């Protein structure tokens, strides 16, 4: 895994582009600049990593468009040190952004191939989620509940009540 000035410059350009598209949280924009998205993509696609597009990854899934990652993260409205459950680890890029912001991240992936790849990648990148769980995120992860926020990056027809029950009660 190689990062260089070219990729750093492309991340800076991506951050500027996301700001122009309406992302206002400067910490998120900084995280976009710091996290090497090409680490989370298939090797043959790394030259496209800093385009604001989704791309295929293993298990017929996709790495989300950077704007989507930034927008979802901004909607969480969290502060450093708060706890988030991410349902749908995928490539691990969103996880890395959340970790870079100082959130305590628990992440669940149901595709075994992605779970294995991402677990291995986290070891190489130094990303340290509180827990990486292999399983169906529909049931959340009650062992660490309650969460300040739950980010569902996987498709769902409805919000499972069990996930709602794992959120901290609003005051």
Domain membership of residue 171 (yes or no) is no
pLDDT tens per residue across span 80-104? 999 999 999 999 999 999 999 999 9
From 15, 17, 64, 119, the catalytic residue:
64
Domain membership of residue 75 (yes or no) is yes
Place of tokens 């298990």: 59
Tokens of 149: 């926020």
Domain membership of residue 64 (yes or no) is yes
Helix H segments across the chain?
5-20, 26-34, 66-76, 93-100, 112-125, 161-164
CB atoms within 10 A of CB 154: 18
Are 4 and 69 contacting, i.e. CB atoms less than 8 angstroms apart? no
Domain membership of residue 10 (yes or no) is yes
Place of tokens 């468009």: 65
Domain membership of residue 169 (yes or no) is no
For 153, half-sphere exposure in the C-beta direction (CA atoms, 13 angstrom radius) is 31
User: Domain range holding 25?
Assistant: 5-164
Structure pTM? 0.95
- The CATH number covering residue 78 comes to 3.40.50.150
**Residue 64 annotated as catalytic:** yes
Rounded to an integer, what distance in angstroms lies between the CA atom of residue 150 and that of residue 161? 12
Q: How confident is the model at residue 171 (pLDDT cuts 50, 70, 90)?
A: low
Q: Across residues 5-21, what is the average pLDDT?
A: 97
| pLDDT value at residue 144 | 98
Q: How many domains does the chain have?
A: 1
Domain membership of residue 126 (yes or no) is yes
Rounded to an integer, what distance in angstroms lies between the CA atom of residue 70 and that of residue 56? 19
Domain membership of residue 37 (yes or no) is yes
């Amino acid at each position: 895994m190689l990062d260089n000035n070219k990729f750093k410059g492309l991340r800076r350009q991506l951050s500027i582009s996301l700001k122009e598209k309406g992302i206002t949280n400067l910490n998120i924009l900084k995280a976009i600049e710091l996290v090497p998205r090409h680490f989370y993509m298939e090797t043959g696609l790394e030259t496209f990593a800093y385009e604001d597009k989704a791309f295929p990854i293993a298990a017929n899934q996709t790495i989300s468009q950077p704007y989507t990652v930034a927008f979802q993260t901004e909607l969480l409205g969290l502060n450093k040190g708060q706890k988030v459950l991410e349902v749908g680890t995928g490539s691990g890029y969103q996880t890395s952004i959340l970790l870079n912001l100082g959130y305590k991240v628990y992440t669940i992936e149901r595709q075994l191939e992605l779970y294995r790849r991402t677990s291995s990648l986290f070891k190489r990148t130094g990303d340290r989620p509180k827990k990486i769980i292999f399983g169906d995120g529909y049931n959340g992860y009650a062992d660490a509940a309650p969460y300040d926020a739950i980010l569902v990056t996987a498709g769902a027809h409805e919000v499972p009540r069990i996930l709602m029950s794992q959120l901290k009660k609003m005051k």
